[in-house]
């Protein structure tokens, strides 16, 4: 079967690129190995409840942000509820820190908990940087550069505010905290480290200022809940693709991508598809395994990260009765002594919205819990019940649940993630940020400079739905500019 573009995987980066290319009239096929769309930003059904696969928070709808751009271009409508309070953080000293959506309210809260020293200038600086980063992201769609045309396009789009950001690529978040006299504030540095793990997958000594400031400020932009779960995002794009004459083919596990004289041959066990162009929406590690082309594999090798530089996840899915009194949906819980077996010092909790009746029964709510597992290929969780018990005990102690109200509980290790998503090592959250990898050194959207491209959370700009949305925008933009 012949298509203009085949996309591997239905993660949000792939779906973004697919929607933008379909909007230009190209015939698109998305090949997805699972039975649901969305990849690591989806929802699955178990025992009558709908649980989140991975991502639970949504940003990117403000002006100059990628998701807003996608919706404006395509006209896609999403089933969203705006959150008044994005998150609460339960600190080791038992203080509860509220991540207010308003900058001024947030600074007052940060000063209340961490002390006044340095907080206001630090957060005003981070917020200013984050605004510049998002504005620049849609102005510089040729970034990172991989040919002369990219560089020429970038020069034409240069604005003064972009140049002012450049030094931030050479400074780490550790440097920024030192600048504002905050490095000796242990409660604050611990808070920053665990917050950075959510969106940058690393700590302040490694994350550069541009990514770090943006990561820390995501609660200061519009935060939304998707009715029915994150699968609502993917379903909205799936419907758009169908309306444009394109499709998503489920239960199609791609095992080979073979370049041909005219386009590409994509093999899915017994089925073979042909296309003029191909976009891989899976990780670079997995893309490397699929491409039957030595030159592509040689180009990808320097960008691949081993397990010791990646994170897996331990996740829990819980259904509760009598949980309607919890008003804030998202919580980060600090565990200074570390969780058993894996040593993680925080876990993230997301409740379903009390107004969302589609994910649980009357008077019930579901919740997703996740925590990082470093070096997932070697860290084996032999008895996950110990980890479950530590998390439930901590949450019960904080008044976040009553174990007698648990109607259903299941948990998953990185091994389960490998089974569900087919991602190398069970990697979640994308490639972590590292100080020795500058933004322009990250893998750009082109794979072979012929017609193969890549997007997703292991290429620029990396993590989160808003980040992979931008990667899909860039991949679609480069494909169209290269060939049309």
The arithmetic mean of pLDDT across residues 109-125, rounded, is 98
**Any domain includes 90:** no
**Any domain includes 438:** no
| pLDDT band at 422; cut points 50, 70, 90 | confident
Round to whole Å and give the CA distance between 384 and 281. 31
The arithmetic mean of pLDDT across residues 14-39, rounded, is 96
Residue 381, pLDDT above cutoff 80: yes
pLDDT > 70 fraction of the chain, expressed in percent and rounded: 100
In this predicted model, what pLDDT tens digit does every residue of 72-99 receive, in sequence order? 999 999 999 999 999 999 999 999 999 9
Q: Are residues 256 and 365 in the same domain?
A: no
| pLDDT band at 415; cut points 50, 70, 90 | confident
- HSE-CB of 253 using CA atoms within 13 angstroms: 8
Q: Which of 221, 254, 273 is the last residue of a domain?
A: 221
Round to whole Å and give the CA distance between 406 and 320. 5
Closest CA to 15 of 267, 242, 274, 227: 242
Give the per-residue pLDDT at 330: 97
Q: Are residues 350 and 419 in the same domain?
A: yes
Residue 419, pLDDT above cutoff 90: no
**Any domain includes 45:** yes
In this predicted model, what pLDDT tens digit does every residue of 243-256 receive, in sequence order? 999 999 999 999 99
Q: Are residues 127 and 210 in the same domain?
A: yes
Q: Are residues 401 and 451 in the same domain?
A: no
**Any domain includes 91:** no
Cβ–Cβ contacts within 10 Å for residue 104, how many?
11
Give the per-residue pLDDT at 131: 96
The arithmetic mean of pLDDT across residues 101-114, rounded, is 98
Q: Are residues 419 and 448 in the same domain?
A: no
Residue 394, domain CATH = 3.30.70
Residue 325, pLDDT above cutoff 80: no
Give the per-residue pLDDT at 108: 98
Determine which of 88-92, 197-201, 323-327 has the lowest per-residue pLDDT on average.
Answer: 323-327
Q: Phi first, then psi: what are they for 277, rounded to 5°?
A: -135, 160
| pLDDT band at 270; cut points 50, 70, 90 | confident
Q: Which of 426, 456, 474 is the last residue of a domain?
A: 426
Give the per-residue pLDDT at 161: 86
**Any domain includes 432:** no
Bridge pairing between strands 2-8 and 271-280: parallel
Give the per-residue pLDDT at 379: 82
pLDDT > 90 fraction of the chain, expressed in percent and rounded: 90
Give the per-residue pLDDT at 185: 98
Number of domains making up the chain: 3
**Any domain includes 478:** yes
Round to whole Å and give the CA distance between 396 and 453. 47
The arithmetic mean of pLDDT across residues 111-134, rounded, is 97
Domain boundaries, position 24 = 2-80+226-305+444-483
**Any domain includes 367:** yes
Round to whole Å and give the CA distance between 67 and 39. 17
Give the per-residue pLDDT at 148: 94
**Any domain includes 343:** yes
Residue 243, domain CATH = 3.50.50.60
Q: Which of 205, 221, 237 is the last residue of a domain?
A: 221
In this predicted model, what pLDDT tens digit does every residue of 439-448 receive, in sequence order? 999 999 999 9
The arithmetic mean of pLDDT across residues 421-429, rounded, is 89
Residue 401, pLDDT above cutoff 80: yes
Q: Are residues 118 and 214 in the same domain?
A: yes
Q: Are residues 211 and 119 in the same domain?
A: yes
The arithmetic mean of pLDDT across residues 160-183, rounded, is 95
Q: Are residues 367 and 312 in the same domain?
A: yes
Residue 484, pLDDT above cutoff 80: yes
In this predicted model, what pLDDT tens digit does every residue of 291-323 receive, in sequence order? 998 999 999 999 999 999 999 999 999 999 987
**What mean pLDDT, rounded, does the chain reach?**
95
Q: Are residues 256 and 285 in the same domain?
A: yes
Q: Are residues 106 and 68 in the same domain?
A: no
In this predicted model, what pLDDT tens digit does every residue of 1-22 receive, in sequence order? 799 999 999 999 999 999 999 9
The arithmetic mean of pLDDT across residues 381-409, rounded, is 94
Q: Are residues 276 and 312 in the same domain?
A: no
Q: Are residues 280 and 378 in the same domain?
A: no
């Amino acid at each position: 079967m012949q298509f203009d573009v085949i996309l591997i995987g239905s993660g949000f980066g792939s779906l973004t690129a697919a929607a933008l290319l379909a909007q230009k009239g190209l015939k698109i096929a998305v090949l997805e190995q699972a039975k649901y769309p969305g990849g690591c930003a989806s929802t699955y059904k178990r025992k009558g409840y709908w649980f989140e696969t991975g991502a639970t928070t949504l940003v990117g709808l403000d002006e100059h942000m990628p998701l807003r751009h996608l919706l404006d271009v395509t006209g896609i409508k999403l089933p969203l509820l705006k959150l008044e309070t994005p998150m609460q953080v339960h600190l080791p000293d038992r203080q509860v820190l509220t991540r207010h959506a308003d900058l001024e309210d947030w600074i007052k809260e940060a000063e209340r908990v961490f002390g006044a020293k340095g907080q206001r200038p630090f957060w005003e600086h981070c917020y200013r940087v984050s605004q510049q980063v998002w504005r620049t992201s849609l102005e510089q769609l040729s970034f990172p550069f991989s040919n002369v045309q990219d560089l020429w396009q970038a020069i034409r789009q240069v604005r003064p505010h972009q140049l002012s950001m450049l030094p931030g690529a050479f400074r780490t978040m550790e440097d920024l905290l030192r600048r504002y006299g905050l490095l000796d504030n242990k409660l604050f540095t611990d808070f920053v480290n665990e917050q950075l793990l959510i969106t940058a997958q690393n700590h302040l000594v490694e994350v550069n200022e541009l990514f770090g400031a943006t990561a820390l400020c995501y609660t200061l932009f519009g935060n939304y809940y998707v009715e029915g779960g994150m699968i609502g995002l993917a379903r909205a794009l799936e419907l758009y693709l169908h309306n444009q004459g394109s499709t998503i083919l489920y239960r199609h596990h791609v095992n080979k991508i073979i370049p041909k004289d005219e386009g590409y041959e994509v093999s899915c066990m017994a089925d073979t598809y042909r296309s003029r162009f191909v976009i891989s929406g899976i990780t670079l590690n997995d893309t490397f395994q699929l491409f039957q082309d030595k030159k592509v594999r040689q180009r990808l090798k320097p960008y691949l990260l081993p397990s010791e530089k990646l994170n897996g996840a331990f996740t829990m899915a819980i259904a509760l009765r009598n949980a309607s009194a919890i008003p804030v949906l998202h919580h980060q819980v600090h565990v200074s002594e570390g969780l058993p077996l894996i040593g993680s010092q925080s876990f993230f909790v997301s409740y379903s919205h009390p107004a969302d009746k589609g994910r649980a029964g009357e008077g019930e709510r579901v919740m997703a819990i996740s925590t990082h597992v470093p070096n997932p290929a070697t860290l084996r969780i032999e008895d996950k019940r110990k980890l479950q018990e530590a998390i439930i005990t901590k949450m019960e102690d904080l008044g976040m649940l009553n174990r007698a109200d648990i109607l259903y509980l299941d948990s998953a290790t990185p091994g389960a993630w490998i089974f569900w998503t087919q991602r190398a090592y069970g990697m979640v959250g994308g490639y972590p940020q590292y100080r020795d990898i500058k933004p322009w050194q990250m893998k750009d959207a082109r794979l072979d400079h012929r017609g193969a491209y890549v997007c997703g959370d292991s290429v620029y700009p990396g993590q989160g739905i808003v980040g992979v949305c931008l990667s899909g925008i860039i991949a679609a933009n480069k494909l169209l500019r290269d060939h049309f």
